[in-house]
């Protein structure tokens, strides 16, 4: 590494407060969530302020290309290779646009943390020729981001955890632990993105006390059903209006809850491989066989999200531990049908929007990327082995220093 680059990285590591951009496209693959943060300190001493946040939707043609990579029938190695660089350019443009919209210059940014776009996540152990097949793949080339922006970029956050025997997920519990633990209250931080995941923080929690895992589908099944019946004219159920017009079908719901993922013990993670388009097609086919209409299938898909979350609390959290409050983040926090159903199902536990903790609901995962980049440059491990199943805590991410 050239001496001037080493000098720059050394100065960055010595800074007490850093401006960090976080970038991510989640399981829903609807666009890039981008955030500008100011982070002071690191680890449990972290203090964070959100300066600006925005989601930049994928253009329709780009989103279609991304979705082709989710299916074994349409994905090809050469297209994945090409789209890695295409998305790197798109992510870089999103970072530059947000910084400018925040009234800053890209030169004011110290660091970028980019998750990229997951196109495959295979957390279950297996072997080929004696070598493990547990793996994950995100695209959105960080070398392109660093080159286009001129800002050191940290990416590939999941791979070090997998190399250490973990599932590469969930990563959000680290942010929850350092920012949201409480000395007297036991909290659940519930994210409802494409996939739903929870972090349980018992009162006065240490890192070893944290319980975290994916509960199952969040919005991904709902979105797939909406896309199917509207021919792509609608990509999600805005405010839960479609579900509100339907009726939850108990027969279909119970069949869906028999999926083996829900009874699997943590640590566990899931994704489109289990709850993606193929799963949605089966749900739609079965729903129609039961005589259900569009709205009924959407309502039942939403009920699956709610019931799988509630059952995860009942069956997979430590027995005898109270839950004092639940904070919901992700796009699902804006779905009124989901939130009302979740409040009813968890009553009398307060179910609150994550905004109450000072970070916009939709910004949480982008903020996580900024935090993980900050931890990387500080030299701190930022996985929680109790959540991911890794053998040990490791520094996450790889640095692309720019020049």
Inform me whether the pLDDT recorded for 44 exceeds 80.
Answer: yes
What is the rounded distance in angstroms from the CA atom of residue 366 to the CA atom of residue 20?
A: 11
Asked if residue 201 and residue 151 are part of one domain, the reply reads no
In angstroms, what CA-CA distances link 212 with 142, 147, 202, 310? 28, 35, 12, 14
- Predicted model pTM: 0.93
Asked if residue 194 and residue 308 are part of one domain, the reply reads yes
In angstroms, what CA-CA distances link 310 with 50, 269, 326, 344, 351? 31, 17, 11, 11, 12
Inform me whether the pLDDT recorded for 281 exceeds 90.
Answer: yes
Whether 69 and 1 have beta carbons less than 8 Å apart is answered as no
Token pair of 352 as six digits: 């609150």
Percent of the chain with pLDDT over 70: 100
Asked if residue 148 and residue 164 are part of one domain, the reply reads yes
For residue 117, what is the enclosing H or E element? strand 111-122
Give the DSSP letter string of 308-365. Answer: HHHHHHHHHSPTT----EEEEESGGGG-HHHHHHHHHHHTTS-EEEGGGGTS-GGGHH
Its domain, for residue 323, covers 183-357
Asked if residue 270 and residue 159 are part of one domain, the reply reads no
Domain membership flag for residue 341: yes
Within 10 angstroms of residue 239's Cβ, the number of other Cβ atoms is 14
Longest dimension (CA), the chain: 69
CATH code of the domain in which 226 resides: 3.30.420.40
Inform me whether the pLDDT recorded for 264 exceeds 80.
Answer: yes
Domain membership flag for residue 73: yes
Provide the pairing of β-strand 351-353 with 325-329: parallel
> Residue 76 has what pLDDT?
97
Average pLDDT over residues 276-284: 96
Average pLDDT over residues 16-34: 96
Inform me whether the pLDDT recorded for 403 exceeds 90.
Answer: no
Domain membership flag for residue 177: no
Inform me whether the pLDDT recorded for 3 exceeds 80.
Answer: no
In angstroms, what CA-CA distances link 149 with 256, 257, 321? 45, 46, 47
- Write down the mean pLDDT value for the chain: 96
Inform me whether the pLDDT recorded for 21 exceeds 70.
Answer: yes
What is the rounded distance in angstroms from the CA atom of residue 1 to the CA atom of residue 96?
A: 25
Asked if residue 217 and residue 315 are part of one domain, the reply reads yes
What is the rounded distance in angstroms from the CA atom of residue 395 to the CA atom of residue 399?
A: 11
Domain membership flag for residue 390: yes
Average pLDDT over residues 124-153: 97
pLDDT one-digit tens code per residue, 140-175: 999 999 999 999 999 999 999 999 999 999 999 999
Assign 1 a pLDDT band (cuts: 50, 70, 90). low
Three-state DSSP class for residue 175? helix
Average pLDDT over residues 13-35: 96
> Residue 232 has what pLDDT?
92
Asked if residue 149 and residue 273 are part of one domain, the reply reads no
> For the purposes of burial, counting CB atoms within 10 Å of the CB of 347, is it exposed (0-12), middle (13-18) or buried (19 or more)?
exposed
Assign 223 a pLDDT band (cuts: 50, 70, 90). very high
What is the rounded distance in angstroms from the CA atom of residue 72 to the CA atom of residue 82?
A: 17
Whether 144 and 112 have beta carbons less than 8 Å apart is answered as no
> Residue 320 has what pLDDT?
77
């Amino acid at each position: 590494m050239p001496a001037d680059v080493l000098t720059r990285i050394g100065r960055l590591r010595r800074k007490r407060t850093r401006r960090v951009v976080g970038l991510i496209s989640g399981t829903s693959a609807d666009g890039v969530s981008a955030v500008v943060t100011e982070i002071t300190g690191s680890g449990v001493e972290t203090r964070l302020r959100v300066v600006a946040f925005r989601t930049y939707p994928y253009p329709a043609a780009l989103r279609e290309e991304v979705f082709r990579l989710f299916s074994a029938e349409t994905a090809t190695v050469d297209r994945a290779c090409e789209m890695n660089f295409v998305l790197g350019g798109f992510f870089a443009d999103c970072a530059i646009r947000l910084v400018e919209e925040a009234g800053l210059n890209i030169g004011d940014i110290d660091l970028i943390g980019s998750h990229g776009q997951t196109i495959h996540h295979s957390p279950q152990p297996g072997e080929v020729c004696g070598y493990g097949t547990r793996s994950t793949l995100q695209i959105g080339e960080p070398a392109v981001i660093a080159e286009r922006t001129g800002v050191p970029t940290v990416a590939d956050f999941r791979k070090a955890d997998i190399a250490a025997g973990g599932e590469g997920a969930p990563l959000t519990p680290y942010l929850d632990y350092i920012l949201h633990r409480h000395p007297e209250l036991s909290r659940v931080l519930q994210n409802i993105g494409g996939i739903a995941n929870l972090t349980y923080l018992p009162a006065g929690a240490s890192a070893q006390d944290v319980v975290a895992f994916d509960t199952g589908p969040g919005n991904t099944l709902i979105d797939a059903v909406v896309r199917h019946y509207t021919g792509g004219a609608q990509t999600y159920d805005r405010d839960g209006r479609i579900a509100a017009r339907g009726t939850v079908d108990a027969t279909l719901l119970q069949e869906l809850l028999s999926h083996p993922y829900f009874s699997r013990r943590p640590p566990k993670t899931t994704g489109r491989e289990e709850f993606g388009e193929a799963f949605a097609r089966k749900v739609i086919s079965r729903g129609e066989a039961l005589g259900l209409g569009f709205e009924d299938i959407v309502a039942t898909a939403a009920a699956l999200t709610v019931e799988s979350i509630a059952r995860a609390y009942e069956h997979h959290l430590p027995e005898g531990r109270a839950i004092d409050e639940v904070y919901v983040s992700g796009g699902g926090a804006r779905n009124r049908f989901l939130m009302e159903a979740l409040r009813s199902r968890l009553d009398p536990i307060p179910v609150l929007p994550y905004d109450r903790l000072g970070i916009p609901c939709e910004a949480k995962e982008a903020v996580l990327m900024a935090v993980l980049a900050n931890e990387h440059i500080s030299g701190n491990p930022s996985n929680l082995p109790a959540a991911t199943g890794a053998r040990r805590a490791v520094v996450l991410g790889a640095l692309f220093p720019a020049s």
